[in-house]
Structure 1
Amino acid sequence: MISTFFKKTGIALLAALSLFGVAQAEEAAKPKVLLVASSYGVAGDPKKPGMEFDEYAMAYHLLSPQLQLELASPKGGKVEVGEYNKTKSYNAAVLTHPDAMALLTNSKKLSDVKAQDYQAVLVLGGKGAMFDLAEHLPLQRLLSEMAAQQKVIAAVCHGPAALLHVKNADGSLLLQGKKVAGFSNQEETMFAKEMLPLYPFLLQDAVTKAGALYQQTGPMLPLVVQDGTLITGQNPYSTPALVDAILAQLQLSTAPRQPYPDEQAVSIIQQFLAGQPIPAQLDEKLVDIPLLAIWGYYYLQFAKADSDRQHAVQVMELVSGSFTDPQFLMALAQGQLQLGNTSRAVELAKAVLKQQPDSKAAQELLSKVKA
């Protein structure tokens, strides 16, 4: 009986080891891609920003099923990240993924990695990239060698800062004459104003100075630009499309999936601005309603022409029934008043007073209209 037990146990163990070996072989057969992050971040210090976790999470979530992923940074070790929403689906998925989190706590040192080991590299953004990636010589050498080997070089948001001083074999700058996207000056002014005095440069200005043909779309709307094997994305919301472009360049297919709620939100904004029809009713489980509200709010604050103001107000109205924050509604009321829609402005101001009876902004608007 004992021998039978050991025999059965041994067969089960051999089967398990065999399956483990098959899994290892399958993983080893996947193309290897290097993710690059900044080492600049210091936890809890807003003046020492780190990597954009959203970009890492989306990239890992979408790339890992088909690729081996490694992470490297200038200093190696733990990569600090900025503030992020843990409830977003891709963030929640990565936070519970041991392999994904292990990469963040024990990144490779860039000086220790070799170009020939990877089929592609993706430089992630976050404001920290502006402070250490552009001048990091090991990263410059790595990217130069990957360019010479005609490997895929991708960067998103502030990540293209890493490309500024990279040179081709003939000594010319990699970015010279290349179409490139990256975080725009407009986005910096709207969403990172507190960092402007601290930055060593503005990304849009710097890539243009390096000879790139800078491309951009509206603030926080997705844009991916490909020029040969160089693939760049404008902001965090460009990450999913950037991943699709990387997979396509590696001749790998993208699996059908439900767009992320924030991805769906910015897509709706793009459709609207392009004059395309958008859903009359939005499913709050599928569309990031607060993101639509915030986008309209900031777009309205920086609107210079009535056409921009009209676009912002229309996006805000799209979600005003479900997003009823008083500050948001008051901004919408002011926007409607500027456009001459007095009755709607009054309606919104009264809605604010129901929530905040002592709202001076709402009271002043109503007094102004009566006068």
Structure 2
Amino acid sequence: MKTYLVGGAVRDELLGLPVRERDWVVVGATPADMEAAGYRPVGRDFPVFLHPETGEEHALARTERKSGRGYHGFVFHTGTDVTLEDDLERRDLTVNAIARDDDGRLVDPFGGRRDLEARLLRHVSDAFVEDPVRLLRVARFYARFAPLGFRVADETKALLARMVADGEVDHLVPERVWSETERSLALPGPQRFFELLREVGALARLFPELDALFGVPQPETHHPEIDSGRHTLLALAQAARMETSTAVRFAVLCHDFGKALTPRDRWPAHHGHEAAGVAPVRACCERLGVPRAHRDLALLATRWHLHVHRALELRPATVLDLLEAADAFRRPERFEDLLLACEADARGREGFEDRDYPQAAHLRRALDLARAVSAREIAESGLTGPAIAEELRKRRIAAIRQVAGDR
């Protein structure tokens, strides 16, 4: 019975990155041996145990054999005859197939350390194609490590494209697609996740609403990058640069879905794309099981982002309409997220990355002034029924009018 540190912990240590969690592989043991040593069994599909003191996961070395479609279609084998190399060979990328023993010696049968030095994400073996989740995982690793100079090996991209062509990607369950997407959105380079999916043909299968934006032009005056899909990914990169939440980043990803529905004879203009985008955003969220908070912010950004962009030009009454439509009085924190999404959108254009976005400060001030109007004071003035709401609106508009004076 011998224990090895494996996977991401070894990889991140070699890269000089913080190690968030540690996984271990145990060779030469049976489940009975583990329980006798005080480990607590927790694995459902294959034997995994929690260390009696540290609580860290220890899995018995295993092999796997494809038995069906999708990522559930595997038969696992564990036994004292399974070697460490057997276990490492079933892993996805060489940089994740490095182990370290108790004496600090590395076991690296597939050249993972060499690929770390070369900044290369490369598959371990052709068995890689048997698990469609690996396509999402590679895209996620690319989103994490591309800012460090990593790229995906050409031969690995070829395998990913083959998985798409063979239909393996169509067997991914929506919950897993969203799980990997949400984790990727939180990373330093979330746009890389979608770039790789598009390069290997998977974006059209998993995110058809986003894929449809590529090749759709916008006015060059406002969008020097021209392409709507490219703009979306530039905006997503800005949202990451601004260190926003995954909900904000998802809203940025979705905000222009309506441009894919503009008739070609109207290009490059996209009048009404905000309202047109609501249906495809809903469809995407329903298909993937997107959490309500993410969905609602994405719908809000889709429908109202142009109003936010034009905030300095809007009449006070229209600003109040925007605040009410966004439910800003009851949910100011979500309105703040809307402003962040719109700022990322505005900066997600070639040459606009460092531009100021005064619209956000303008609307924050407008909300503060409007919220300061006392509904109780109006109610206590003797007004009743609809007259209270009319007076409240009148006073809020007057308060918002002060913002123009502040400028």
The answer to whether TM tops 0.5 is: no
Question: TM-score, with normalisation over the residues of structure 1?
Answer: 0.31
Give the TM-score taking structure 2 as reference length.
0.29
- Is the radius of gyration larger for structure 1 or structure 2? 2
